[in-house]
Amino acid sequence: MGRFARALAVAAMVTAIAVPAAAIPPPGAPACSVFPSNNVWHADVSKLPVNSHSSAWLSSMNASSTHLHPDFGPSGGFPYGIPYDVVSSSHAKVYLTFDYADESDKGPYPFDGNTKIEGGQNAGGDRHAIMIDSGTCKLYELYDAHYSSSGSTAGSGAIWSLTSTSTTRSA
């Protein structure tokens, strides 16, 4: 079984888990639920047993040698993971120049010199920036984000509605 097929099998097992009754909003954006309340990503899996095939799956992926990590918190240095900022609807928005403009939502984005960037303001790597507008419940995501008062740039950008039950982008 290939890696992709194994990943699909794991995803199928996870989707069978019951989900909590209410969606949990991101801190600072109390009216904005991330995913609908019945979405599997709200499932509490902390007390579930480890699948009997887990060790074999990890071994087949050479997990010990590929530095498998979830990107959720400090590991090998800080800051690590992808932070996000909650902004109000009145936050100033800017248009960016995108490397992949044809694959990006035009904007504007609530992005400025204080926006948290993955790895910090001087980081290399992916440099993701995520901003959540608490008034409109829109999530703005940038990849390879660089702020400049004379013109900000990013590899790509997407704007998502957190109030929609759709998985499509809002812009």
| pTM score, whole prediction | 0.66
| Other Cβ atoms within 10 Å of 159 Cβ, number | 20
Higher pLDDT, residue 37 or 55? 55
Helix (H, G, I), strand (E, B) or coil at 130: strand
- Give the domain ranges of the chain: 3-60, 84-161
What integer is the mean pLDDT of 54-68?
74
End-to-end CA separation in angstroms for the chain: 38
- Residue with token string 């909003």: 25
CA distance linking residue 123 with residue 117, whole number of Å? 8
pLDDT score at 45: 85
Q: Where do runs of H (alpha helix) occur along 24-133?
A: 54-60
Each residue of 12-24: pLDDT tens digit?
A: 333 333 444 455 6
Tokens linked to 56 = 């074999």
pLDDT score at 12: 39
pLDDT score at 3: 44
Residue 96 has pLDDT above 80, yes or no: yes
Integer CA distances (angstroms), 155 to 66, 77, 141, in order: 25, 24, 11
Tokens linked to 24 = 């949990």
